[in-house]
């Protein structure tokens, strides 16, 4: 629930309720903007990230209120401000989204492989499973004696052997990573080939299956890190550019004026009960969108619906996710409209558990969105040219894992939504 800076007492109109609510959100916006500027232009600290998150929340609430209660406001003014707030919120959200996506994918790789995944580059050294490996121009580096590096032109450059460093990795992966030379012997794994020097078929330099999979997971993590960190850096630069643009200053000036005066329409002169039908329309749109979802199938665990068309060659996002994303947006608008209604003096809440229900459903849909976008990032990384089969395999497993997370989020939403409707 957003903080209220003003309180309404006594008889009031619908316009008074809207004005106080929007002025409170505008005040939160300006306060967050001041905190963001005080945190510094670099925007890399926790204080800056928290201020940016508060700024986005205030912008979303103002935009959502302008959308739902548009008949009560000056239409020309609201139609001009609403898309600008959406632009600002989306621009500021991208950097945060890329960072969370990378953290989510690396954590999933660690869980799936059982070995540490790459961490950010420190001093030109990429840490992979506890063993430092050289990083040169975004090339893939194979860990082990006699390794070679794939470079942009397709050629290969010899790399000196990695030092033998103890690491908490499986025995096969540790042996493959610490071989001092191509001719060194590696203890065989039961049921598998001989070693790195005498692998399947006795080919020199071949890697055991377990070691190859561990290296594939490490390379997949490094590839995801390069791609998402690059996207995050670009999003950070775009956010800094946006915050210094004339467009943003125009938005900030409009919100500053909103904090003191709200342009209202003639319909706002009526009683606060006039806000109810507009909020009910937002609720009806949400119910219609939820009714179009395959909730019956989503209520069965492990239904594999989220994995459908997983091997399609189309790089576009999964079309089956779009209705769920739309429900997430409509649920957010419904929550914001409910906040306005609860600010009416002597308002009677619809139910003690309604707010908690909407919040739980929103969390499930947030998980759905995050998992869907993470799966898309893994799929895009798997389309990178000239990656090793083990890397592509690890990215495929990671994509399937995130699609299973999509399915789990749908199941959680179905349980919250249908159970609460049954109680009503």
Percent of the chain with pLDDT over 90: 55
The CA distance from 43 to 33, in Å, is 12
pLDDT for 134-145, tens place per residue? 343 444 444 333
Q: What is the pLDDT of residue 316?
A: 62
Mean pLDDT across the stretch 201-206?
46
Q: Which residues pair with 134 in a beta bridge?
A: 125
- In the sheet with 140-141, reading across from the earlier edge strand, the strands are 140-141, 148-150, 156-158
**Within 13 Å and on the Cβ side, how many CA atoms surround 415?**
11
Tell me how far apart the terminal alpha carbons of the chain are, to the nearest angstrom. Answer: 23
CA 283 – CA 221 distance, rounded (Å)? 42
Give the pair of three-digit tokens for residue 422: 């049954």
Whole-number pLDDT of residue 210? 64
For residues 225-237, give the mean pLDDT: 96
| Residue 342 confidence (pLDDT) | 87
Does residue 388 contact residue 220 with C-beta atoms inside 8 Å? Answer: no
Asked whether residue 205 carries a pLDDT value surpassing 50, the answer given is no
- Residue from 315, 284, 288 nearest 383 by CA: 315
pLDDT band at 117 (very low <50, low <70, confident <90, very high): low
- pLDDT in the model for residue 310: 65
The model's confidence at residue 306, banded by pLDDT at 50, 70 and 90, is: confident
Question: Hunting for tokens 């000239």 — which residue is that?
Answer: 386
> Can you count the helices (H) and strands (E) in the chain?
11, 5
Identify the pLDDT of residue 198. Answer: 41
**Mean pLDDT rounded to a whole number for the chain:** 78
Nearest-angstrom CA–CA distance, 398 and 33: 38
Q: How many residues does the chain have?
A: 424
Higher-confidence residue of 232 and 161: namely 232
- Angle at which helix 46-68 crosses helix 75-113, to 10 degrees, equals 130
Q: Which of 206, 213, 174 lies closest to 389 in space, CA to CA?
A: 213
The mean pLDDT of 325-350, rounded to a whole number, is 86
- Range of 96-110, 188-202, 204-218, 294-308 with top mean pLDDT: 96-110
Find, among 290, 274, 422, the residue nearest to 353 by Cα: 422
Is the pLDDT reported for residue 115 higher than 80? no
């Amino acid at each position: 629930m957003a903080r209220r800076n003003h309180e309404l007492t006594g008889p009031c109109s619908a316009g008074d309720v809207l004005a106080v609510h929007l002025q409170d959100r505008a005040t939160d916006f300006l306060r967050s903007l001041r905190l963001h500027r005080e945190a510094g232009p670099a925007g890399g600290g926790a204080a800056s990230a928290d201020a940016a998150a508060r700024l986005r929340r205030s912008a979303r609430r103002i935009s959502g209120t302008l959308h739902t209660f548009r008949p009560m406001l000056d239409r020309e003014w609201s139609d001009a401000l609403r898309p600008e707030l959406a632009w600002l919120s989306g621009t500021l959200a991208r950097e945060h989204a890329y960072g969370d996506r990378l953290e989510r994918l690396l954590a999933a790789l660690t869980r799936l492989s059982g070995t540490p995944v790459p961490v950010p580059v420190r001093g030109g050294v990429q840490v992979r499973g506890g063993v430092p490996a050289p990083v040169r121009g975004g090339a893939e580096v194979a860990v082990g004696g006699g390794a070679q590096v794939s470079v942009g032109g397709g050629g290969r450059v010899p790399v000196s052997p990695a030092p033998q460093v103890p690491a908490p990795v499986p025995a096969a992966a540790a042996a493959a990573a610490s071989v001092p030379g191509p001719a060194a012997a590696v203890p065989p794994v039961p049921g598998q080939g001989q070693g790195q020097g005498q692998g399947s078929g006795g080919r020199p330099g071949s890697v055991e299956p377990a070691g190859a999979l561990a290296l594939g997971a490490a390379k997949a993590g490094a590839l995801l890190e390069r791609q998402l960190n690059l996207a995050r850096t670009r999003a950070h630069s775009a956010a800094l550019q946006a915050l210094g643009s004339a467009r943003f200053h125009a938005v900030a000036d409009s919100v500053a004026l909103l904090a003191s005066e709200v342009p209202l329409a003639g319909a706002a002169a009526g009683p606060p009960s006039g806000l109810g039908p507009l909020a009910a329309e937002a609720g009806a749109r949400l119910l219609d969108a939820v009714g179009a979802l395959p909730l019956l199938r989503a209520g069965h665990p492990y239904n594999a619906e989220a994995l459908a068309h997983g091997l399609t060659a189309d790089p576009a996002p999964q079309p089956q996710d779009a209705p769920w994303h739309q429900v997430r947006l409509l649920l957010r608008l419904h929550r914001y409209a409910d906040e306005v209604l609860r600010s009416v003096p002597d308002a009677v809440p619809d139910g003690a558990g309604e707010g908690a229900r909407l919040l739980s459903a929103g969390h499930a849909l947030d998980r759905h969105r995050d998992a869907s976008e993470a799966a898309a990032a893994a799929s895009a990384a798997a389309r990178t040219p000239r990656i090793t089969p083990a890397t592509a395999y690890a990215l495929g497993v990671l994509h399937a894992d995130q699609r299973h997370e999509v399915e789990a989020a749908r199941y959680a939403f179905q349980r919250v939504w249908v159970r609460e409707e049954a109680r009503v």
